[in-house]
Structure 1
Amino acid sequence: MSELEQYSYDLRWNNNMAVVTITLVVYDYILQFENEVQFVWGRQLSVMAYLYLAVRYLGIFLAMLCALWGGLIYMPVSVSYPLVILIQWCFSAYFCLSEVILIWRLYVLYNQSKLLLYGLLGLFLPVVALYIGMDIFLYSRPSALSVQEIITPNFEYCATSFHMGPMPAIYASIPVMCFDIFLVVLAAAILVKHMKDRREIGMRPNAYVLMIVRYHIIYFVLNLATQIFMVLVWANLSIPVFSVIMTFSDTVPFIMVPRLIISIWDTHANIKCVYVSTTFEDCVCWTSPPRFEQYEMGSRAEWLQNQDE
């Protein structure tokens, strides 16, 4: 394959994946817009609503910017290089917001424990500092990353060039993954405690506790996959593999994170709850009020008595 044919091949992959990115993100936004109006704009904004708006619209902005940059819309090097840096810093901001969502969910699960909240935020600050340091070291220096402008008689586009190996990115991702694992362990611990407590009084586990812990695991898997893919882009990958990885990174986090938030609101709206728990604020309710728990315990005692007879 000649050099010109290789450039054309690369550009086709870039543009095809850009169209896929735009289509998926726009389609998801259209599907979720009605729920957003109902659960966000149609009521008083809460902490989780603000976090939802941040990840939703920062994600859309980033997805569109990633899709348009490169070849779909030609941009000269003087514009492309600052945009690449902006994209990387926004990616870090997005994943920091995702971590804040996990911390807030744990704060809710642990009965609004201020000690837990402040402790997790204190542990999270070094992670933020690490993101900032890596963005400066890996993406904001011309000696580490540059943009190459490719001009042919038929087309013009820009491509990034990495001048370092993947090891610094790998080392930087390890503390982030350790922090995510710690959050998952905390979520699993409260789930085990909750199931044990419910089993002792003869009740089923609360559906929303199960849902939030399940979403914690999904967040963890999503963050793990994204961290791995962000490291892989530093390797010398083929254009099809590189394009698929970037399409995943440019779509899946921006679709899944806000969708997981809004799905809890949607589930809550479609279940008739007798008692709304202040512990879970705007995201969930207890499906059984205290008096109903007593009724269930009484019914269970009656059932056991009948079994003995």
Structure 2
Amino acid sequence: MTIVSNDPSLWPVIDAYRFFSYCVVAAFVAVTYDWALTFGQEVELVWRQRWSLMTFLYLAARYLGIFYAALTVLSTLPTILVTDTVSWITYVVRSWINVLVFAMLWVIIITRLHAMYQGSRKILIFLIVTFLADNIFDVVVSIMIMMHVSGEEYILSGTYMCQINYPEDDVLLVSITWILATVWEVLALCLAVWIAVKHFRELRRHSAGGIIGDCFSVLIKTHMAYFASFVAVSCFQLIADLSPSLLTDENSLESQTLSGLAQISTVVQAFVLGPRLILGVREYHAKLVANSDAASAMTSIAFREQVHVSTSSSV
């Protein structure tokens, strides 16, 4: 359905829409700039290394992120080429990319935690069960939303705009998925901090640090950065979904600003910091190999196949 209007009172809506499109472009610039910045490391630490599951997860997260950001820019272009059908298709594709990439990032985190807990089967089973429960719920919610969302094309004072409309029940379901995802991320962070503190205490007690201590430091630093970005995304998303004032006027500048910040933080968290969970560890391993013969004990930490922390633990 196309709605045409030249009402001057709708000009603030156009301004808000343009502001959101600037945020979308900023997100695209961020992910492509990070890719260009780390491409040299990617060639050395990913493409030229032995391929494994983590290699495929890194490449999928990285390049799906660029594709996702480009699609988002396309969906906000104020041209006649972007119809309600095109916007709806790009929305569906972006939604499923989000579901897929977040699942892959959680697989990376589960693998890291499994290694940090020295291959504990109980931890692995617990993480897999909670991971499957949460992601199955996400898939079901995504399917339900796809069945109810609709797109509308607006031509306001010569500016072409497309908007995706959600039923109120679907907005609530989306908020629940973000809450459950945040709970899982908090749980994963607590498990990582707990085992890291435990290992640091043991190393201090035995006056032994070195490679193992540095390894845990790298794992915790990359995890903390990723977790902080996820919390920011969740906060922006929940405020946008649950704030009564924003729900009553989705085209207001405040609503579009919050949506734009959520868009930028989502892209940075999933498609910049997510791949760096792997790249950071591989970079640390490469420095060990270059600077010390002792690095041979940490060969697997590069996520080639398995990671060894203090025993034969696998990440």
The verdict on a shared fold, with TM-score over 0.5 as the criterion, is yes
Q: How far, CA to CA, are the matches of 1:270 and 1:72 in structure 2?
A: 47
For residues 119-268 of structure 1, the aligned pairs below 5 Å read: 119-137=126-144, 139-142=145-148, 145-152=149-156, 154-164=158-168, 166-204=171-209, 206-234=213-241, 235=243, 236=246, 237-268=254-285
Deviation per CA, 1:40-85: give whole Å up to 9, x if none.
1112112222221121111111111112212256421122212212
SS in structure 1 of the partner of residue 293 of structure 2: coil
Distance 1:14 1:151 in 2: 17
Q: Percent identity?
A: 25
CA RMSD of aligned residues (A): 2.7
Cα distance in 2 for partners of 1:160, 1:56 equals: 26
Gaps of 5+ in 1: 289-309
Aligned counterpart, 1:269 = 286
Task: Give the letter aligned to residue 267 of structure 2.
Answer: D
Deviations 1:194-253 (A, max 9, x none): 112112211236111121123223332222322333333334243333323323223443
Cα deviation, residue 254, structure 1? 1.3
- Tell whether the 8 Å contact from 2:27 to 2:263 is kept in structure 1 after alignment: no
Q: Determine the C-alpha separation between the residues in 2 that align with 1:252 and 1:220.
A: 8
Q: Considering only CA atoms, is the larger Rg found in Structure 1 or Structure 2? A: 1
TM-score normalised by the chain length of structure 1: 0.82
Give the letter for the 2:127 counterpart: L
Aligned residue for 1:203, secondary structure, equals coil
Q: Distance in 2 between matches of 1:106 and 1:100?
A: 10
Whole-Å Cα distance in 2 between the matches of residues 258 and 219 of structure 1? 10
For 1:149, give the aligned amino acid.
Answer: E
Kept in 2, the 8 Å contact 1:17–1:247? The answer is yes
Which one-letter code corresponds to 2:283 in the other structure? D
Instruction: Give the superposition deviation at 1:106.
Output: 0.8
Q: Distance in 1 between matches of 2:64 and 2:266?
A: 14
The worse-fitting range, judged by mean Cα deviation, of 199-208 and 48-57 is: 199-208
**What's the counterpart of residue 16 of structure 2?**
10
The runs of 5 or more residues in structure 2 that have no matched partner are 1-6, 247-253, 311-315
SS at match of 2:173: helix
- Give the conservation status (yes or no) of the 8 Å contact 1:184–1:217: yes
Deviates more, 1:273-282 or 1:213-222: 273-282
Distance 1:114 1:161 in 2: 44
CA distance in 2, matches of 1:169, 1:215: 27
> Which of 68, 74, 78 is the matching residue for 1:68?
74
- Find out whether 1:89 has 2:96 as its counterpart: yes
Q: Given the two structures, how large is their TM-score scaled by the length of structure 2?
A: 0.80
User: How many residue pairs end up in the alignment?
Assistant: 286
Kindly state the Cα deviation for residue 115 of structure 1 after the two structures are TM-superposed.
4.1
Matched residue SS, 1:238: helix
Q: Deviations over 1:274-299 (max 9, x none)?
A: 232358442498899xxxxxxxxxxx
**Which residue of 2 is the match for residue 51 of structure 1?**
57
In structure 2, how many angstroms separate the alpha carbons of the residues matched to 1:72 and 1:31?
Answer: 30
Relative to structure 1, the CA distance from residue 72 to residue 34 in structure 2 (aligned partners, 3 Å threshold; closer, same or farther) is farther
Counterpart CA distance in 1 for 2:101 and 2:309 is 33
